[in-house]
Chain A
Amino acid sequence: MATLRKADSYCLGLESTADDFSVGILSFKGDILANEASMFMPETGGIHPREAARHHAEVAGKVLSEALRKAGIQQREIKIIAFSQGPGLGPCLRTGATAARALACYLQVPLVGVNHCVAHIEIGKLITGAKDPLTLYVSGGNTIVAAFEAGRYRVFGETLDISVGNCLDVFAREAGLRQKIGEPLGALVEKLAARSQNFVSLPYTVKGMDLSFSGLLSAAIELLNSKKYSVEDLCFSLQEVVFSMLAEVTERALAHTEKPEVLLTGGVAANKRLQSMLEALANEHNAKFGVVPKQYALDNGAMIAWTGILTYQHGLSTSIEKSFVKLKWRLDEVYAPWVGG
């Protein structure tokens, strides 16, 4: 019976940077009680920010009550509300922020604005047990190689143009693939790629620890339109080139930072080929390898709640006046006093 249980401290986290609206509830000790999500699925094309935001507003109540029901906690046990303050799509971020402000005012608890990219790393550390990893964060919006150094996460490498997930998604759409619930475009590319062994040469663009995907994408689309190669061959080749580039910059950053662990996260982390490449390179450098499982690698409320707890426990919170969303909030702008070392 719930009434017999001693009241505990929990954080409720809201995530709404892009196509997912998600609510996570965690105890201050790091137990994950709930992590509910609803994904916006466009009929055609990519994510339209305003349509995604409308979806978030529509499902917010439902996702929130489902998370609270699953967690089975009392209202007064929620000690803080955390929300993703950026980076991301403006209308989507604002919808989540509005819900977060309302909740914080209603429950009269502090509000904590969280950086979405920091949250991906923190939940990855919590889930995999990594302490001081070099992180490769790859998704539809981000392509970042980061590690902690003197007070904050530093970006060692990143894309110079589009993200890797964006590159794969646009190619998939050009090839006529359609995403389904539980089967994103990246998974479709992976499936087709597994049916080919025929490598077609594509531009390989690595600049030190940075990468560029836009030229590669154009070249792949050009080959697709030339009808000289099958979609399977091109998916296979695109994956091989793109992931080899990611592996190379990760390896370079690993050699440079000499971190003891490699952490792979973000939506693209679900790809088995990428996982096997990163695992092999981590082994070669005697670094531990950890991949964040899908439910915590995709955008999720749990990561926001957890980072909210870490932030709050170090005396930081966000006043309502300062809770405006930051569309272009870089990972390396965040002071992270909770990370040791």
Chain B
Amino acid sequence: MLFKKGAEASLYIEEWQGRKVIMKQRLPKAYRLPTLDEAIRTHRTVREPQSIHKAKEAGVPTPTIYLVDITSANIVMEFIEGKQVKQILNDLSQAKRRSLCRHIGVLIGRLHSHGIMHGDLTTSNMILTSHGKVFLVDFGLSERSNELEARGVDLHLMKRALQSTHYRYVKKCFEAVMAGYSEVVGRNTTEDVLNKIQEIERRGRYVSER
């Protein structure tokens, strides 16, 4: 059963070996040149489970991978029961929103300190379970890096996602994310990353501070 048609993959809910699973299928894009299309799909199908596994080592909840089929660009993984943070963040009380964002910051901090850049940190890619645990999903755009630049871009994306979808609470939410981040990576690194984010923003088109 088709569960969600995303940008680069379709997610199906299936039963697999008696378990409820997500089958993530990166179908060929007819609009893309076949050579390029295959390279992108293969690369991401390989990269995603690697990063998900690394994230677990870093202490970040991610779905368990059951099967990877590189030739058909197919991944079978655990189905995480819960709600997308995107759907609930705006309706939470101020205190709950802050603590959720702080927790998300902790998770990002853990990823970064283990050299994993998520690559698409939006609130659609965060799932809150009924036990209050936050799972990060969709590591298709993830990268391995220890560079400040990569961390800055990753968090800049988080900020942008808040700006476009949770515009009323951007400032407080992002501050909370960075507070959580700081708990893991320390104040000095957080300062450096914040400065980097500012630098990245200034590089963009039409920035009033520039």
Point out residues on A near B: beta carbons under 8 Å: 87, 141-143, 149-150, 154-156, 158-161, 163, 199, 201, 204, 206-210, 240-241, 244, 247-248, 251-256, 276-278, 280-281, 284-285, 327-330, 332
A sample of 10 inter-chain contacts (CB < 8 A) reads: A143-B205, A161-B204, A208-B141, A208-B157, A251-B7, A252-B6, A252-B120, A256-B124, A280-B29, A328-B210
Contact for B207 among A163, A278, A285, A328, CB less than 8 A:
A328
B131 within 8 A of A: no
A159 and B32 form a contact (CB under 8 A): no
Pair count A-B, CB < 8 A: 103
Chain B residues whose C-beta falls within 8 Å of the C-beta of A252 in the assembled complex: 6-8, 120
Which of B35, B121, B157, B205 is within 8 Å of A141, CB to CB? B205
B41 to chain A, nearest CB (A): 12
B164, closest chain A residue (CB) = A154
The residues in B between 19 and 54 inclusive whose CB is less than 8 angstroms from any CB of A are: 29-33, 35-36, 39-40
- B171 on interface, CB distance cutoff 8 Å: no
- The answer, among A154, A201, A284, for a CB contact under 8 Å with B163, is A154
Bound-complex Cα distance A104 to B160 (A): 39
Tell me whether A206 and B31 are in contact (CB under 8 A). no
Q: How large is the interface on B (under 10, 10 to 19, 20 to 34, 35 or more residues)?
A: 35 or more
Q: Find chain B residues with CB under 8 A from A199 CB.
A: 33, 35-36
CB <8 Å contact, B31 and A276: yes
Interface flags for B141-175 (1: CB within 8 Å of A; 0: not) read 10000000000010011001101110100000000
Given that A154-B163, A160-B200, A247-B32 are known contacts, is A207 also in contact with B8, CB under 8 Å in the complex? no
Residues of B within 8 A of A244 (CB): 31-33, 36, 40
Q: Choose among B7, B33, B200, B204 the residue with the greatest number of A CB atoms under 10 Å from its CB.
A: B7
User: Knowing A154-B163, A208-B121, A244-B36 touch, does A330 contact B208 (C-beta < 8 A)?
Assistant: yes
Which among A155, A159, A210, A284 is the interface contact of B157 at CB below 8 angstroms?
A210
A248 touches B119 (CB 8 A): no
Q: Are A159 and B205 closer than 8 Å at their CB atoms?
A: yes
Is the CB–CB distance between A209 and B160 below 8 Å?
yes
Q: A154-B167, A244-B31, A255-B6 are in contact. List 19 more A-B contacts (CB 8 A).
A: A87-B206, A141-B205, A154-B164, A158-B205, A160-B203, A163-B205, A204-B40, A207-B120, A207-B141, A208-B119, A208-B157, A208-B161, A240-B33, A247-B29, A252-B120, A256-B124, A256-B165, A285-B5, A328-B206
Which residues does chain A contribute within 8 Å of B36, judged by CB atoms? Answer: 199, 204, 240-241, 244
Asked if residues B33 and A155 are in contact (CB atoms below 8 Å), the reply is no
Contacts of B153 in A (CB 8 A): 160, 207
B56 to chain A, nearest CB (A): 22
From B30, B32, B141, B164, give the contact of A206 (CB < 8 A): B141
**A161, B203: Cβ atoms under 8 Å?**
yes
Closest to B40 in A: A204
A259 to chain B, nearest CB (A): 13
Which chain A positions have C-beta within 8 A of B163?
Answer: 154-155, 332
Which of these, A159, A163, A248, contacts B7 with CB under 8 Å?
A: A248
Report chain A residues within 8 Å CB of B160: 155, 208-210
Judge whether A159 and B204 touch: CB under 8 Å: yes
Instruction: Output the least CB separation between B125 and chain A (Å).
Output: 9
Write the nearest CB–CB distance from B159 to chain A, whole angstroms: 11
A-side contacts of B161, CB under 8 Å: 208
Per a CB cutoff under 8 Å, which of B122, B141, B206 touches A329? B206
Per the bound structure, the CA–CA distance linking A284 and B7 in Å amounts to 10
> Which of A150, A208, A210, A248 gathers the greatest number of chain B CB atoms within 10 Å?
A208
The listed residue (B119, B164, B200) touching A155 by CB distance below 8 A is: B164
* Partner of B30 from A154, A163, A210, A280 at Cβ < 8 Å: A280
- The answer to whether A328 touches B208, judged by C-beta atoms less than 8 angstroms apart, is yes
On chain A, the residues within 8 Å of B8 by CB distance are 248, 251-252
Tell me the nearest residue of chain B to A240, going by C-beta. B33
Contacts of A280 in B (CB 8 A): 29-31
B172-191 contacts to A, CB under 8 A, are none
The 4 lowest CB-CB distance pairs between A and B, nearest first, are A252-B7, A280-B31, A277-B31, A251-B7
B200: chain A residues within 8 A (beta carbon): 160
Chain A residues, CB < 8 A from B206:
87, 327-330
Chain B residues in 8 Å Cβ range of A327: 206
B100-155 interface with A by 8 A CB criterion: 119-122, 124, 141, 153
Bound form: Cα–Cα A142–B206 in Å: 9
Q: For residue A199, which residue of chain B has the nearest CB? A: B35
A255 contacts which chain B residues (CB < 8 A)?
A: 5-7
Q: Which of A159, A204, A244 has the most CB of B within 10 A?
A: A244
Report the bound CA distance from A208 to B32 in whole Å.
Answer: 18
Complex alpha-carbon distance, A204 and B119, angstroms: 13
Bound Cα distance from A251 to B6, whole angstroms:
8
Q: Tell me the bound Cα distance from A163 to B121 in angstroms.
A: 23
Minimum C-beta distance from B198 to chain A (A):
13
